[in-house]
Amino acid sequence: MSSKMLEDPLFQFVLLVLLSAAARLLYGRNPTFRLVANVTFFALLTILLVKHEIAPYTSDMGDATDLFRRIFVGIAKSVWWIGGAMVLASSVRLFLIFERKPREGRLLQDLLVAIIYVGSALSIVAYVFSVPVGTLIATSGVFAIVLGLALQSTLNDLFSGIALNLGRHYTVGDWIVLDDGVQGRVVETNWRSTHLLNGTNDLVIVPNSALAKARLTNLTSPEEAHGISLRIRIVPSIPPATIEETMRTVLLSSNAILKSPVPVVSVVGLDNSAIEFELSFRVSGLGEATAARNEVYDLVYRHAKAAGLQLASPVGSPASPVTDTMEDKKHPNSAWRLLNAIPLFSTLTEDEKESLASDMKRLSFRKDALIATQDTSLTSLMIVRRGVAVVERMEGNETLELARIAPGDLFGERGVLMGALEPANIRALTAVVVYEIAKDHLAAIMQERPALAEELGLLLSRRIEAEKHHFSAGVSEEGSHPTTLTTRIRHLFQIPYGSWS
């Protein structure tokens, strides 16, 4: 290859374009490389044009008699303006790499990129074809008016989208609710519409013009924490202040709601048929709302039963009289009622429940009293009758809260069934009443009802699995399996093999 050919501007230009095209073909999907490649190409092309005295920002096309040079200069100028536009467009897109939100502000980016390329096209018209840009814009005004009228709806969506993106009322990932009940998580915003993914995993497409006019509630901004309010109606058998304290205990015993800000209980209605309370609390995110509602409703039922309260009928329904069931009249003993309300003991006969209830010992603890101590082994199964306790593990100078215990919850099965140590302290958050089932009496019941050992093994397995999310419970993966635990329990208590019914 001769040196004369290497110095030919046309050859250098074609070689530069081919190298740039090959590089983009191989690595063009990488945004960072695309920007570097565009900057490099634009810089080399600028050097090439300056070296050969070609000014792309003027309308000078060189010797008017040399048609070949005029064509080359026109193409080179056009490519230079397009290359500059590509550098600017890549720079606009670059913030996606740092923000890590590929769909965030997509409409505004597209708009800026469009303006850059329109400016580049007008520059080519002015400096390559020597056409006055002002005259071109003026003559196209009528066409623009006609086009605007034809695309009125589209332009309405476009400018509404620009306004929504500038206002930043929501971003991709936020969960929004419109005044017509439409709701979902924002997954994309584009020129014409916003795409929402609703609770049933269906895609809802809302035009930007409709979204700009709608009253919008952002459930995930300015923070992910989500507020929930539940209304509970209680038969007014005791003073409202006493029931209110029970409702506070409900929220105190929840594991799913946030402890800060402090949940609130408000009396919102009172008549001869019911006292209505509003329980307000927050959860860490919208995805936790359903689980939190379910847990709080369950705790309301358990605490109400423990306090002897009765849920009232809905508004407009006949009031339900406060009556005791036949079972309650037949068995007024509080311990028997507690056993009867726990699914674990559902397989026991009435006589077995009576026998177990008669042997249960009632224990009372003041607020902040230590019910069980970490690294000690309990010798009785404990069932919470009333109040709230917290399970706290001490690790150095730190206190790690593992769970909260409410009426109907059991603890101590680890020591009773396996002789293992308690992994944490159990402390009374309120005044707590528990019933104690001695190990010997529980062993006698399991001899008659082997299914009880299986249920206790399953309960212990679930508790160990939950504790593994916080710390090492000291039980191996193999040893925490329900079947393995049941086998060990059956062996320790000499429960016969065979039927589990």
Q: Which candidate, 328, 480, 360, places its Cα nearest to that of 418? A: 480
Strand, coil or helix: what is 437? strand
Cβ pair 74, 61 in contact under 8 A: yes
What is the structure's pLDDT at 475? 43
Tokens 């209680």 sit on residue: 234
What is the structure's pLDDT at 430? 93
Strand, coil or helix: what is 18? helix
C-alpha to C-alpha distance for 80 and 63, rounded to whole angstroms? 20
Torsion 350-352-353-355 (CA) sign:
positive
Strand, coil or helix: what is 82? helix
Instruction: List, in order, residues 6 or more apart from 467 with CB less than 8 Å away.
Output: 402, 423, 473
C-alpha to C-alpha distance for 348 and 221, rounded to whole angstroms? 51
Task: Extract the residue ranges of the chain whose pLDDT is less than 70.
Answer: 1-7, 27-31, 61-66, 93-108, 133-155, 162, 165-167, 318-333, 467-501
Q: Write the DSSP assignment of 172-184 as a string of letters.
A: TT-EEEETTS-EE
Q: What is the pLDDT of residues 331-367, one digit of tens each?
A: 556 788 888 888 878 778 888 888 888 889 999 999 9
Write the single-letter amino acid at 44.
L
C-alpha to C-alpha distance for 72 and 215, rounded to whole angstroms? 57
What is the structure's pLDDT at 474? 45
DSSP conformational letter for 387: S
Residue 269 φ then ψ, to 5°: -165, 150
Tokens of 81: 């303006």
Strand, coil or helix: what is 275? strand
pTM for this entry: 0.63
Strand, coil or helix: what is 319? coil
Residue 16 φ then ψ, to 5°: -65, -45
Tokens 């359903």 sit on residue: 290
Q: Between helices 31-51 and 67-93, what is the axis angle to 10°? A: 150
Tokens of 204: 């809802």
